[in-house]
């Protein structure tokens, strides 16, 4: 366990270093391609940008092709809506600030209704999104990550909003309360800790490293579904509420080449 504590501390240290390294931007939203660009609201057009900062609510629409040569940064309280059939390539890191919401990627698994009677999330097909660096989130409102290839690490510490009581239907209250990580290929480590909200799931991911899911506190009794993952490393689950489960996902047991520790020992 001493080695694991060292790993967790190192993950948080890496997150802090990457967040501290977030670039400053002052360019207007209409800046030419290959520039440092800030989107305060509206649509992010197809093109190539050196660095891209989102300060308001911005969308990458279906069919767009966006390349960021450096970092994609979400400022505190901002939102990027890119759960679309687009192609997004981030060659640096994705840095998510406090209270920000990142929605990135769209897989075939999301072409089904989100819940009975609900809307179709990805009606226009799948995305082909890649992050060459890491995704690092400091107290985000939430992350919605689906069908991505992440070549570095996925680190998220804190964030969300508390939802009191046992509320099994709160997933229908909006994506801001949900934290799905589904159908991704992740080449680094995963560390998600301290998030609060309605529902969390880590489902059908292929991951090459250690996955640690810690102190995730959600109100849905069907939450913390940790299923059908292939993890070429260890799976560590500690202090999560409710305890990780299959739930109503009808998922399969995880394939884990390393150790299964804590609440995920039987999954």
Q: What is the pLDDT of residues 19-71, one digit of tens each?
A: 333 333 333 344 444 568 999 999 999 999 999 999 999 999 988 999 999 99
Token pair of 127, please? Answer: 């995305």
Structural domain includes residue 45: no
Structural domain includes residue 212: yes
pLDDT digits (tens, 9 = 90+) for 188-215: 999 999 999 989 999 999 999 999 999 9
**pLDDT > 80? residue 168:** no
pLDDT digits (tens, 9 = 90+) for 72-125: 999 999 999 998 889 999 999 999 999 999 999 988 654 443 444 445 566 666
Q: Are 200 and 223 in contact (CB under 8 A)?
A: yes
Structural domain includes residue 44: no
Structural domain includes residue 37: no
pTM above 0.85, yes or no: no
Structural domain includes residue 251: yes
Total number of domains in the chain: 1
158 φ/ψ angles, rounded to the nearest 5 degrees? 75, -165
Burial of 239 (0-12, 13-18, 19+ CB in 10 A): middle
Look at the chain and count its residues: 267
Instruction: Look up the domain containing 230 and give its range.
Output: 2-22+54-262
CA atoms within 13 A on the CB side of 144: 25
- Beta partners for residue 144, in sequence order: 103
């Amino acid at each position: 366990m001493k080695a694991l504590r060292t790993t967790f501390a190192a993950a948080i240290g890496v997150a802090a270093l990457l967040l501290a390294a977030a670039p400053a931007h002052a360019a207007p939203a209409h800046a030419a391609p290959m520039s440092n660009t800030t989107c305060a609201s509206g649509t992010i057009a197809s093109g190539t940008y050196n660095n891209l900062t989102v300060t308001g609510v911005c969308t990458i629409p279906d069919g767009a092709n966006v390349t960021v040569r450096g970092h994609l940064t979400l400022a505190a309280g901002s939102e990027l809506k890119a759960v679309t059939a687009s192609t997004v390539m981030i060659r640096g890191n994705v840095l998510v600030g406090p209270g920000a919401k990142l929605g990135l990627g769209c897989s075939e698994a999301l072409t089904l209704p989100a819940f009975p009677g609900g809307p179709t999330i990805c009606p226009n097909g799948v995305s082909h999104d890649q992050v060459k660096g890491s995704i690092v989130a400091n107290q985000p409102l939430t992350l919605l990550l689906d069908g991505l290839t992440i070549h570095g690490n996925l680190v998220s510490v804190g964030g969300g909003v508390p939802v009191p009581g046992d509320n099994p239907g709160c997933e229908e209250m909006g994506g801001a309360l949900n934290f799905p990580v589904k159908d991704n290929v992740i080449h680094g480590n995963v560390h998600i800790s301290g998030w609060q909200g309605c529902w969390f799931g880590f489902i059908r991911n292929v991951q090459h490293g250690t996955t640690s899911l810690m102190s995730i506190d959600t109100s849905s009794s069907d939450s913390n579904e940790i299923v059908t993952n292939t993890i070429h490393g260890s799976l560590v689950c500690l202090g999560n509420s409710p305890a990780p489960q299959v739930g109503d996902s009808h998922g399969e047991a995880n394939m884990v080449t390393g150790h299964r520790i804590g609440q995920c020992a039987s999954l």
